[in-house]
Amino acid sequence: MAEAATMEPTVESAESESHDFQAETQALLSLVINSLYTHREVFLRELISNASDALDKARVRSLTEHDLLGEDKKLEVVIRPDKAAKTLTIADSGVGMTREELQRFLGTIAFSGSKEFAKRLSGDAAKDASLIGQFGVGFYSAFLVAERVDVTSRAAGVTEAEQAWRWSSAADGKFALAPATRARRGTDVVLHLRDEHLEFLETWKLRELVRKYSDFVGYPISLETEETEGEGADEKTARSCEVINRGTALWTRPKAEVTDEQYAEFYKHVSHDWDEPLARTHFTVEGQQLFTGLLFLPKHAPFDLFHRDGRSGIKLYVKRVFVMEECKALLPEYLRFVRGVIDSDDLPLNVSREVLQHDRHVEQIQRTVARKTVDMLEELAKERPDDYATFWREFGVVLKEGLHLDHDLKDRLAKLCRWESSGREGLTSLADYVARMPEGQPAIYYISGQDKAFLAKSPHIEGLKAKGWEVLYFTDAVDEWVATAVPEFEGKKLVSATKGAFSADGEQKADADPKADPEWGGLLELMKNALGDRVKAVRMTDRLTESPVCLVAGEHDLGANLERILKQHAPNQAMLGGKRTLELNGKHPLLQNLKRLQPDLSQREHLREWTEVLYDQALLTEGSPIADPVLFAERMSKLLLEVSSRALGAPAAEAPAADAPAAPKLEA
DSSP 257: G
HEC secondary structure over 266-296 = HHHHHHCCCCCCCEEEEEEECCCCCEEEEEE
CB of 336 to ligand ADP, least distance (A): 18
> Which residue from 136, 302, 449, 559 is in contact with ligand ADP, where contact means CB under 6 A?
136
CB 544 within 8 A of CB 463: yes
The distance of closest approach from Cβ of residue 205 to ligand ADP in the complex, given in angstroms and rounded to an integer, is 21
Stretch that binds ligand ADP, among 79-87, 104-112, 277-285, 359-367 (CB under 6 A): 104-112
Per DSSP, 402 falls in state H
Which segments of 326-429 does DSSP mark as H helices, in order?
353-358, 360-383, 385-405, 410-416
Q: Which is nearer to ligand ADP, 50 or 281 (CB)?
A: 50
> Minimum CB separation from ligand ADP for residue 375, in Å?
29
Give the DSSP H or E segment for 536.
Answer: strand 535-541
HSE-CB for 495 with a 13 A CA cutoff: 24
- Which ranges of 573-603 does DSSP label H, i.e. alpha helix? 589-597
Number of Cα atoms under 13 Å in the Cβ half of residue 65: 13
Restricting to residues 160-219, which ones interact with ligand ADP according to CB under 6 A? Answer: 187
**From the list 81, 107, 138, 559, which residue makes contact with ligand ADP (rule: CB under 6 A)?**
138
Binding span for ligand ADP by CB under 6 A among 26-34, 130-138, 248-256, 386-394: 130-138
Stretch near ligand ADP under the rule CB under 6 A, chosen from 32-40, 136-144, 404-412, 509-517: 136-144
- Burial of 480-504, coded b for 16+ CB within 10 Å and e otherwise, reads bbbbebbeebeebebbbbbbbbbee
Residue 51 interacting with ligand ADP (CB under 6 A): yes
Handedness of CA 297, 301, 304, 306 (dihedral sign): positive
Quote the least distance from Cβ 151 to ligand ADP, whole Å: 8
Q: Identify the bridge partners of residue 344 per DSSP, sorted by sequence position.
A: 291, 318
Which residue, 156 or 369, is less far from ligand ADP as judged by CB? 156
Among 29, 79, 97, 341, binds ligand ADP (CB under 6 A): 97
Choose which of 137, 347, 447, 584 interacts with ligand ADP (CB under 6 A): 137
Nearer to ligand ADP, 95 or 356 (CB): 95
Whether residue 466 contacts residue 545, with contact meaning beta carbons closer than 8 Å, is answered with yes
Binding residues with ligand ADP: total (CB under 6 A): 17
Taking residues 57 to 96 in sequence order and writing x for each that binds ligand ADP by CB under 6 A, - otherwise, the string is: -----------------------------------x-xxx
Minimum CB distance to ligand ADP, residue 51 (Å)? 5
Options 21, 139, 274, 474; binder of ligand ADP; rule CB under 6 A:
139
Q: Interacting stretch for ligand ADP, rule CB under 6 A, among 137-145, 165-173, 497-505, 596-604?
A: 137-145
Query: How far apart, in whole angstroms, are the C-alpha atoms of residue 561 and residue 197?
Result: 58
For 150, phi then psi, to 5°, come to: -115, 130
Q: Does 150 bind ligand ADP (CB under 6 A)?
A: no
Name the one range near ligand ADP by CB under 6 A: 132-140, 211-219, 362-370, 380-388: 132-140
Site for ligand ADP in 528-557 (CB under 6 A): none
We find the least distance from the C-beta atom of residue 565 to ligand ADP, in angstroms, to be 35
What is the rounded CA–CA span in Å between residue 622 and residue 262?
A: 52
CA–CA distances in Å: residue 297 to residues 137, 216, 243, 369, 399 = 20, 20, 32, 13, 12
Q: Alpha helix (H) ranges present in 40-191?
A: 42-64, 99-107, 114-120, 125-135
**What is the nearest approach in angstroms of ligand ADP to the Cβ of residue 230?**
36
Instruction: CB nearer to ligand ADP: give 43 or 615.
Output: 43
Q: Which is nearer to ligand ADP, 182 or 534 (CB)?
A: 182
Report the distance separating Cα 478 and Cα 93, nearest Å: 47
Q: Which of residues 290-349 bind ligand ADP (CB under 6 A)?
A: none
Are 92 and 76 in contact by the 8 Å Cβ rule? The answer is: yes
* Integer Cα distance of 251 and 188 in angstroms: 29
CB 105 → ligand ADP: shortest distance, Å? 3
In whole angstroms, the minimum distance from the beta carbon of 100 to ligand ADP comes to 12
Residue 60, SS3 per DSSP:
helix
Q: Phi then psi for 438, rounded to 5 degrees? A: -75, 160
Rounded to an integer, what distance in angstroms lies between the CA atom of residue 310 and that of residue 304? 5
The piece of 48-56, 203-211, 254-262, 610-618 that touches ligand ADP (CB under 6 A) is 48-56
Q: Which of residues 581-640 bind ligand ADP (CB under 6 A)?
A: none
- Under the binding rule (CB under 6 A), the answer on residue 54 touching ligand ADP is yes
Residue (25 or 368) nearer to ligand ADP, CB: 25
Max CA separation in the chain (angstroms): 123
* Nearest distance in Å: CB 165, ligand ADP: 12
Judged by CB, which is closer to ligand ADP: 109, or 365? Answer: 109
Minimum CB separation from ligand ADP for residue 272, in Å?
Answer: 4
Question: Which one of 105, 283, 454, 481 is in contact with ligand ADP (CB under 6 A)?
Answer: 105
- What letter would DSSP give residue 223? E
Q: Provide the binding-site residues for ligand ADP, judged by CB under 6 A.
A: 50-51, 54, 92, 94-97, 105-106, 110, 136-139, 187, 272
